[in-house]
Structure 1
Amino acid sequence: MRYWLMKSEPDDCSIDDLAAMPGQTVAWYGVRNYQARNFMRDQMQLGDLAFFYHSSCAEPGIAGIVEVARRAYPDATQFDVSSRFFDAKSSHENPRWLNVDVRFVRKTPLIALAELRRHAALEQMRVLQKASRLSITPVDPAEWRYITEQLIGSA
């Protein structure tokens, strides 16, 4: 099993939105970075766990935990001319962009970015590195354990 951090703007899809969805599952659409796409395509497996991270908001941070429920497949928004994620260079025969489906596992107390930065055990975490803008990043198993045991605990 691998661990991930997946960023979503809560105005688009928040952890509460996901918890309220039928089947508590959503396609992780709109990823338009090749490295993040490649993580989904080449490394994400069914059952992998991820921190659901609220980004581009007043208080960014980890808001919950999700599970990969479907392996990578073409992101339909790349073909939709009315979508802000439309890509004219992509085709059904040769899609450029993929998404995975994630399933709600649990909501957590918000662990703000500032709080993550306070812990030496997390100093190498990719989301904390300067210029880290990727919407999907791997999380080291030791970082996952530290966050789930020390910061989330049984809350």
Structure 2
Amino acid sequence: MEFVNNWTGQTACALQAAFRMSNDAFAEHLGVAVRTVAAWHSKPGVTPRAEIQDALDTALSRASELVKARFARYVEPVDSPAVTGSEGAQALRVAVAVVVNDDDVLVVCRRGEDGAGISWQFPAGMVKPGVAPETVAVRETLGETGVHCAVKRTLGSRLHPVLMFSATTFYAST
């Protein structure tokens, strides 16, 4: 994908995700207000003004090949072969572990790519084809925290409405 005919909040959020930027960083990168980026997340069907679409076009055209590839993957229709898994491609899948020990819940601290800002998240990892998501949840928990755990049950799955990846969440205990 080299260009976008009509930018929407959803495609703008996909570009933000491809850049792996926070709302603040993406707003600064585009030269728009942070509230504009936040609005795209809350209203994915909104169409940005023409000058903002130009800024999005410029950001996409100047992006690295890796960012462009991620963006193309994020904006593929859900029923396309790359997302449905036909023709050998697989949908992007993530396994998330909610690990508890009595009343304690395990979270990990992640820093932003630019080294600024932190966020607290559950241990998680990408699920490669042929690997059970439960295995990924346990392995990532051990690798990220040093904590041994076992999956007790699946809490649920969801398809991210903007980024179009599937996440399965597991309840695990130490």
TM-score, structure 1 as length reference? 0.27
More strand by percentage: 1
Q: RCO greater where, 1 or 2, for CA within 8 Å and sep 6 or more? A: 1
- Higher Cα Rg, which structure: 2
TM-score, structure 2 as length reference? 0.25
More helix by percentage: 2
